[in-house]
Copies of this chain bind each other. A is one copy, B any other.
């Protein structure tokens, strides 16, 4: 980063942290539960909406299936939670990538890694999109600007994570508890109102969905089944995020595994209970939620008013139970938005960890391993930010569309991870003696097997019902990521194989002779400094090289060289096509051909300008020559920089120069060839100035 931007960076990122500051304190149950459940709990903010909007395709009658489908979705979610509770007993350091890699081999691991990367990007995109819609429910002024609110949410999360902020655990915990209190308060008052018959209707109770053409003939047996399956597949978004505690066992207080198991169970029950409550109340208050509000009509069959705004289900319920625009309902909706932001935040923690893990295994670029000033994996954070922004913008922050792609990757990694666990327990069984321990392993394997079967079924259902709706894009993306990671790994493997020392190699071998070559473009101070440095390195032979771009200039240069009596012979290289690098490369190759075991060192005088705009006024010739020379084997490039002073026009370098005074005769560098004896004759020539070295 240019130094001029340093203050901006300090303002945004803050002072760098010492590496020692890395470890955090382990979290007890009371804090771990809210912190690691935020992601799973936040699904309540969009999973019910998904079920209802799918059912709405079948018309008003189909909406009655809502609570039943909610029940099935919750059951599946609890099964997955159970399955993960078993997994962590074997892999407390956890993570689906680690489990899969250990049990099903690196390629299954990479596939899961790719799916998880995609999931986490979707977690951010879905969370900020849903957050934007909840905020619009409290602040109607934001309606229509949801996209920009979502983009702002991503940017906020990115900056916070690059700063390393949000490491505090207490505030999030308090906010999640507040959310839970208000949510269950709302659900209980809703139930009480329902029992006492005082439950009001939702705002959307007086509209109804126009059935999809496919379901126009009413709901026959098959049509109902298809609709129910599709609603279930959309609703399975409820299970997203349940793996978070399993991947963070390390961060929990001792006894870690018991803490984690408690957190998972509590999380599953809370998420399940709240989903069931929401689905029940939504049915009782006649909540209607559709993909496109333009497809609604009033219950009388009329047009829906143009200013009709469709709020998320939870916001509608809060208004129905706590009263439209009341303080409590506003607070609950705001807390939902906060919870969604926390879910996005948790993805911002997991994604860079995952990519650094993949980078450590050489499947992703090494840059993802670099820790930033505040100890975060900045490059991973930036990658996630860009990907999430791309999704948010591409889907114009429409939560429903995003969720449907989200579910695929999540269930893919669930499935593969559970399969890995089944394999793990089967292997374990071979080493386990009979009796109780053996039975425990069998039981655990059975749980993971059920988990595998269920998640596989859901994955297939989602894939089939959503294939033409974009599921193929998600699969293609995962396949593409796997193939890129394979190429990256192959590259790193090849580089390591090439760079590693062979046992037979003598690590202390030296080049036999050193041929030094100074590239001369003018007789000015930087050139003389380069010459002095080259001579100080006492090479076996030393020559100055001039590329003849312009005959007059070359002649003047040689005359000046002669006048200064510089003790180094000059070779002039012809350049009929006015190139700098090519004649030099040809000359070097000639040298290397005649003595391939010698080292050739090219000294290049350079000047470094003090201000950025000034570099526009100087050719990038030396830079280009250096890049070209880097591709030549057996050639070392020595840049001799001359720092131009900042005070223009002063004309002097005020810093001490490394040159000492004149060297006493006889003590000069040893094996330097005889001085400019053949120049004078060449200067007088009328023919080409080329010494002809490379044409012979």
Which residues of A come within 8 Å of B, CB atoms?
16-20, 365-367, 370-371, 373, 488, 490-495, 497-501, 505-512, 514, 522-526, 528, 532-533, 535-539, 564-567, 576-578, 596-601, 606-608, 614, 616-619, 626, 629-645, 648-653, 655-663, 668-669
The CA of A535 and the CA of B658, in the complex, are separated in Å by 21
Q: Give the residue name and chain of the B residue nearest to A603 (CB).
A: B636
Q: Which residues of B contact A370 (CB under 8 A)?
A: 578, 619
Q: Which residues of B contact A492 (CB under 8 A)?
A: 617
Q: Which residues of B contact A567 (CB under 8 A)?
A: 508
Please determine whether B536 and A510 come into contact, CB atoms closer than 8 angstroms: yes
Q: Which of B491, B607, B638, B659 contacts A510 (CB 8 A)?
A: B659
- Least Cβ distance of A261 to chain B in Å? 32
Q: Which residues of B contact A617 (CB under 8 A)?
A: 365-366, 488, 491-492
Q: Which of B528, B614, B633, B656 contacts A491 (CB 8 A)?
A: B614
- Least Cβ distance of A647 to chain B in Å? 9
Q: A18-B576, A617-B491, A641-B637 are in contact. Are A525 and B499 (CB under 8 A)?
A: yes
The CA of A17 and the CA of B635, in the complex, are separated in Å by 30
The CA of A509 and the CA of B511, in the complex, are separated in Å by 28
Q: Give the residue name and chain of the B residue nearest to A539 (CB).
A: B537
Q: Which residues of B contact A653 (CB under 8 A)?
A: 498, 633
Q: A16-B577, A498-B644 are in contact. Are A597 and B491 (CB under 8 A)?
A: no
Copies in the complex: 2
**Cβ-closest 7 pairs across A and B:** A497-B651, A494-B648, A499-B524, A634-B658, A512-B660, A16-B577, A537-B537
Q: Which residues of B contact A635 (CB under 8 A)?
A: 641
Q: Which of B371, B566, B638, B658 contacts A508 (CB 8 A)?
A: B566
The CA of A578 and the CA of B669, in the complex, are separated in Å by 41
In the complex, besides A507-B566, A533-B599, 19 extra interface pairs with C-beta distance below 8 angstroms are A16-B578, A365-B616, A495-B607, A497-B649, A500-B524, A501-B524, A507-B564, A508-B565, A508-B567, A508-B662, A510-B669, A512-B660, A598-B658, A601-B638, A630-B639, A633-B657, A633-B658, A635-B641, A636-B639
Q: Which of B367, B599, B601, B657 contacts A634 (CB 8 A)?
A: B657
Q: Which residues of B contact A659 (CB under 8 A)?
A: 509-511, 597
Q: Which residues of B contact A490 (CB under 8 A)?
A: 648-649
Question: What are some 12 contacts across the A-B interface (CB < 8 A)?
Answer: A371-B578, A497-B649, A498-B644, A498-B651, A498-B653, A499-B526, A501-B528, A511-B658, A537-B539, A626-B639, A632-B643, A633-B657
Q: Which residues of B contact A669 (CB under 8 A)?
A: 510
Q: Which residues of B contact A596 (CB under 8 A)?
A: 656, 658
Q: Which residues of B contact A663 (CB under 8 A)?
A: 508-510
Q: A597-B658, A608-B630, A640-B636 are in contact. Are A537 and B535 (CB under 8 A)?
A: no
The CA of A19 and the CA of B689, in the complex, are separated in Å by 14
Q: Which residues of B contact A638 (CB under 8 A)?
A: 601, 636-639
Please determine whether A509 and B524 come into contact, CB atoms closer than 8 angstroms: no
The CA of A607 and the CA of B617, in the complex, are separated in Å by 30
Q: Which residues of B contact A660 (CB under 8 A)?
A: 509-512, 597
The CA of A491 and the CA of B618, in the complex, are separated in Å by 11
User: Which of A488, A658, A662 has the most chain B CB atoms inside 10 A of its CB?
Assistant: A658
The CA of A507 and the CA of B607, in the complex, are separated in Å by 18
Q: Which residues of B contact A493 (CB under 8 A)?
A: 649
Q: Which residues of B contact A508 (CB under 8 A)?
A: 532, 564-567, 662-663
Q: Which residues of B contact A495 (CB under 8 A)?
A: 607, 644
- Least Cβ distance of A558 to chain B in Å? 15
The CA of A274 and the CA of B146, in the complex, are separated in Å by 66
Please determine whether A639 and B642 come into contact, CB atoms closer than 8 angstroms: no
Please determine whether B637 and A633 come into contact, CB atoms closer than 8 angstroms: no
Please determine whether B661 and A506 come into contact, CB atoms closer than 8 angstroms: yes
Q: Which residues of B contact A491 (CB under 8 A)?
A: 614, 617, 648
Q: Give the residue name and chain of the B residue nearest to A537 (CB).
A: B537
Q: Which residues of B contact A494 (CB under 8 A)?
A: 644, 648-651
User: Which of A490, A655, A659, A663 has the most chain B CB atoms inside 10 A of its CB?
Assistant: A659
The CA of A643 and the CA of B499, in the complex, are separated in Å by 10
Q: Give the residue name and chain of the B residue nearest to A493 (CB).
A: B649
Q: Give the residue name and chain of the B residue nearest to A639 (CB).
A: B637
Please determine whether A19 and B576 come into contact, CB atoms closer than 8 angstroms: yes
Q: Which residues of B contact A649 (CB under 8 A)?
A: 490, 493-494, 497
Q: Give the residue name and chain of the B residue nearest to A500 (CB).
A: B524
Q: Which residues of B contact A510 (CB under 8 A)?
A: 532, 535-536, 659-660, 663, 668-669
